[in-house]
A and B are shown apart, each in its own frame.
Chain A
């Protein structure tokens, strides 16, 4: 093993030991939760006094009720009979609490205060650690490609695809397709508020469903040709939808913005009652005129650069060259904005590691930062 590898291995082991020590002390990467019991009682509302004697009874309603003793320890969704003979359902939801509050409650409990209700959430803590370790695994690609990076990349792609599929199923297939074809079933099983579809909706959804199935035929080599028809439908619809919006919004809208809305010479008037003096107004007029002139020159020159019907030589070549400069400045601005975006993403990941995981910093005041040095060595809570 080379000397360099030994040094890296020692640094890695020290890092892991330090992290493990601090984690064991409870000074980093923990998520605390407290229970909230939700209980509802089923009641039968009385019929209003003006209702006919033969009218149907109102539908039963669920109203919030008081949680019985020990309800917090009951797992999952539970059902009971209420004192009045009705039905009671309940469950416990766990809400995240700041670590600061947990520590304070713990300290108070030690000095005779009320017992601590909040507790460590293992699933959420494991999730936090996984997120942190996956972040580090992605960063490791900067050194070189490695199995940790590959694994993390696969997890992200798989989880995202699964999420999209689930959302697509519950937001598109269930309410739109199944909700139109078998509305009663969907209403009874999953979506009580589903409205009764109209005939036109049903026909449209049958057509959409058939096209969807035809699209999947792409996977069957013998009938792959069937997938061409829905593709043609999608492309045709999209092209039609895009065409007129581009003409209206981008072509005409931009033409208007570059010409009628941007006169090259602007002379601002002195508005009575304002504090601006004549030289200030003149300066503002000059700047506004300069801006619009640059806009005009930039637009013309850049358009000229893409005009290939004549050779870019002489005066035409010089105009096109100015166009190239404008294009380069635009690309530079786009690059600058892209860098800004990427740096923000990196900053957020570092914030997550330093704040949520390592507890080195505490900008949101949720885990009472223990300080970078003292925290690193696990100085206990005081």
Chain B
């Protein structure tokens, strides 16, 4: 038995992992989510902004990270729309405009048709230049984003009239998959503003790979951190609870339960992963005792 396990073809592990993810999806398994304090803080930071606040949403991700970041971007846009904030969408990633367009279509156009483009939300699209864009936006936002994605000059967009620099936003929400993203926003825009009389609030939603890199910034330089699909599921739950509290009996559409749905396969896959790690250690130590491994 030990010999069999020691020489087990790794493709059986792949198959087991595939089944661990596929079966919960086919059975549509889902589990209740309870928000952790860090997700609650992110929610409270956004929720407690005054009505009509200006929120800068930087969607720095692409289709490769959409499974992780898409659901949290949906929840964040929905939350801002529910609270009646003015949303300014930007991206520093070439694939970002498509991600912004998807969320505008899925959330704003579908469920908040009363929000008017140019008055309640604006899509300022993509700008190349990474940190240079952040640096310039800090001093001259309109020069950095001179027109929206329709080609209309920002001078003709009503909600851009009061925007001069990033200091004119109440909150920065960065949904980021890597470089440039949440870390750079913290370094170049949020931290320098931290010492001002009215510091720029910041919430970052990021991929699992990025989360450990961003944890040190919380809570000193970040007001909220939504880490990976787990954070997205917690945030989604909080927004859904907020909706149910405001309008009891509301049916939550499936598109607003995507992160929670995606946590079903997570649970089974993680149980399998932990079991395999334990099993691997048992095999190793048993082999060492019998002298079959060095």
Contact = CB atoms under 8 A, between A and B. Distances in A.
Contact of A350 (B25, B95, B228): B25
B28 interface: yes
A159 B207 CA distance: 24
Given A164-B94, A171-B126, A340-B266, 13 more contacts: A193-B147, A241-B132, A241-B135, A245-B191, A248-B192, A250-B187, A254-B220, A337-B228, A341-B207, A343-B270, A346-B21, A350-B21, A354-B26
Interface stretch (B159-167, B242-250, B254-262): B254-262
Contacts of B216: 254, 257
Interface string A141-181: 01100000000000000000001100110011000000000
B32 interface: no
Interface stretch (A104-112, A218-226, A276-284, A357-365): A357-365
Contacts, number: 132
Closest 8 CB pairs of A and B: A341-B208, A348-B67, A337-B208, A257-B220, A249-B191, A167-B94, A249-B187, A334-B212
A82 interface: no
Interface residues of B, number: 54
A338 B230 CA distance: 12
Nearest to B211: A337
Contacts of A191: 151
A347 B94 contact: no
Interface of B: 11, 14, 17-18, 21-22, 25-26, 28, 64, 66-68, 94-95, 126-128, 131-132, 135, 146-147, 151-153, 186-188, 191-192, 194, 207-209, 211-212, 216-217, 220-221, 227-230, 254-255, 261-262, 265-266, 269-270, 273
Contacts of A193: 147, 151-153
A171, A342, A348, A361: which has the most chain B beta carbons within 10 Å?
A: A348
Contacts of B265: 343, 346-347, 350
A267 interface: no
Nearest to B127: A171
A347 B25 contact: yes
Nearest to A257: B220
Given A163-B94, A340-B230, A346-B21, A249 B266 contact: no
A167 B149 CA distance: 13
Contacts of B208: 337-342, 344
Nearest to B150: A193
A347 B266 contact: yes
A122 interface: no
A337 B209 contact: yes
Nearest to B188: A245
21 contacts: A142-B11, A142-B14, A163-B94, A172-B128, A195-B153, A241-B135, A253-B191, A253-B220, A256-B220, A257-B220, A333-B212, A337-B211, A337-B228, A339-B270, A340-B228, A340-B230, A341-B207, A341-B208, A343-B266, A344-B266, A363-B261
A296 to B, nearest CB: 14
A265 interface: no
A361 B21 contact: no
Nearest to B25: A350
Interface residues of A, number: 49
Given A246-B187, A248-B192, A347-B25, A341 B228 contact: yes
Nearest to B227: A337
B131 to A, nearest CB: 6
B192, B217, B220, B270: which has the most chain A beta carbons within 10 Å?
A: B220
Nearest to A141: B14
B266 A192 contact: no
A171 B94 CA distance: 9
A204 to B, nearest CB: 12
A274 interface: no
Interface in A174-207: 191-193, 195
A330 interface: yes
A344 B126 CA distance: 26
Given A193-B147, A241-B135, A248-B192, A360 B26 contact: yes
A382 interface: no
B68 A344 contact: yes
A78 B135 CA distance: 45
Given A195-B153, A339-B270, A347 B262 contact: yes
Contact of A343 (B21, B94, B152): B21
A167 B91 CA distance: 13
A167 B97 CA distance: 10
A371 to B, nearest CB: 11
A245 B273 CA distance: 39
A372 interface: yes
Contacts of A343: 21, 265-266, 269-270
A261 interface: yes
Nearest to A346: B21
